[in-house]
Amino acid sequence: MPAPQILAAVAQQSAYHTPYQHYTPQAWSSRCSTAIPLTLNAEEIAQLQGINDHLSLNEVRTIYWPLACLLNSEIDAYHQQQAIQGQQGCLPPGPYILGIAGSVAAGKSTSARILQWLLSRWPRERQVALVTTDGFLYANSELQARNLQHKKGFPQSYDRPRLLQLMNDLKAGQATIPVPLYSHLLYDIVPDQQQILECPEVVILEGLNVLQQRPDDRCHHSQRFIADFLDFSLYIDAPEARLKRWYIERFLLFCDHGFRDSRSHFHHYAQLPRALAIATACKIWERTNGLNLSENILPTRQHACLILTKGSDHLVEQIQLRL
């Protein structure tokens, strides 16, 4: 068999054995046949999207609306099962937990806010809480004591026992759960402030490493992971070169706006000349974000139930749903 035909046969075989079903945006949008109208408008979308993220009403209708349809059926089935177990004398029902992972600058926060909005209003009102793992980062003083200043966002920079306790408390149906808060302005944990979760039906957990399942060599092989508590997981994907460009563009926007606030941890970057600002962003990417992506985040993509791959314009160009 000629070499090109061999390569084509290998590619076809690999595609056949993939655990994912691939969709174009058009094919994906046809999955949702509900007659319930989408009430989200362009002004609300603008409020939900993150800085340097681009989201249109059409993409919400094409990508996130069908995803909300899928998740709603999953959530209903989950709570029906929980109700049955409750009648049998088991623990109070805990919330359905959706995990959203991906690189810095991928658009995780925008996806999380859009899904929170959709799931909390359709097909009926339900309480949907959004929790970011940023609140479980060690405080800057603790990171410095552990010599992890340049590893912020890496798995070892999180208070993993506290995050696991949150997941345990959620699944145990605990009525009121305090969650620490993180400030991107201060670039640190906010002291004496908390987010209070009160019996949410759904919790969206958004963070860099929520799908990590690689054992820590220092721990026992039977340790649990955040991913063990997730009922559904989503990975926001894009090639690294694209993610790096988006990070640099976002950094420059922060230099023009957010960093100018005198309270900002990065206020000293506000007056940087453009070329130096770009060089600084590149250095931060290579030293921290890019390294974290290749070592810790990207390897978890294979564990996701759904992968949304973005094109150069930030819009989703491919959807992969685990079979």
The model's pLDDT over 241-269, given as tens digits with 9 standing for 90+, comes to 999 999 999 999 888 887 778 888 888 88
Between these two residues, 11 and 319, which has the higher pLDDT value? Answer: 319
Question: What's the Cα-to-Cα distance from 311 to each of 49, 238, 240, 265, 315, rounded to whole Å?
Answer: 17, 7, 12, 32, 6
Mean pLDDT of 78-90: 74
Q: Is residue 73 part of a domain?
A: yes
Q: Would you say residue 103 has pLDDT above 80? A: yes
The DSSP bridge partners found for residue 308 are 236, 319
Residue 136 buriedness (CB in 10 A; 0-12 / 13-18 / 19+): buried
Lowest mean pLDDT among 28-37, 75-84, 176-185: 28-37
Burial class (CB in 10 A: 0-12, 13-18, 19+), 60: buried
User: Is 208 inside a domain boundary?
Assistant: yes
What's the pLDDT at 7? 43
Which two three-digit tokens encode residue 46?
A: 């603008």
Position 55 in a domain: yes
Say yes or no to pLDDT of 15 above 90: no
> Does residue 218 carry a pLDDT above 50?
no
Bridge partners of 320? 22, 307
* Residue 12, in any domain of the structure: no
Maximum pairwise Cα distance, the chain: 69
Tally of domains in the chain = 1
DSSP character string of 161-218:
HHHHHHHHHHHTT-SEEEEEEEETTTTEEEEEEEEEEES-SEEEEE-TTTT--PPPTT
- Tokens standing for residue 227: 């991913």
Report whether pLDDT(159) > 80: yes
Output the pLDDT for position 47.
Answer: 86
Q: In the prediction, which pLDDT does 121 show? A: 87
Asked whether residue 221 is assigned to any structural domain, the reply reads no
> What is the span of the domain harbouring residue 44?
38-88+98-214+232-322
Whether 174 is in a domain gets the answer yes
- Residue 235, pLDDT above cutoff 90: yes
Residue 15: Cβ within 10 Å count = 10
pLDDT at 145 over 60: yes
**Tokens 């899904």 -> residue:** 115
In a domain, 82, yes or no: yes
Assess contact for 116 and 128: CB atoms under 8 A. yes
| Residue 159 in domain | yes
Segment 263-315, tens digit of pLDDT: 888 888 888 999 999 999 999 999 999 999 999 999 999 999 999 999 988 99
Q: What is the CATH number of the domain that holds 47?
A: 3.40.50.300
Average pLDDT over residues 20-34: 88
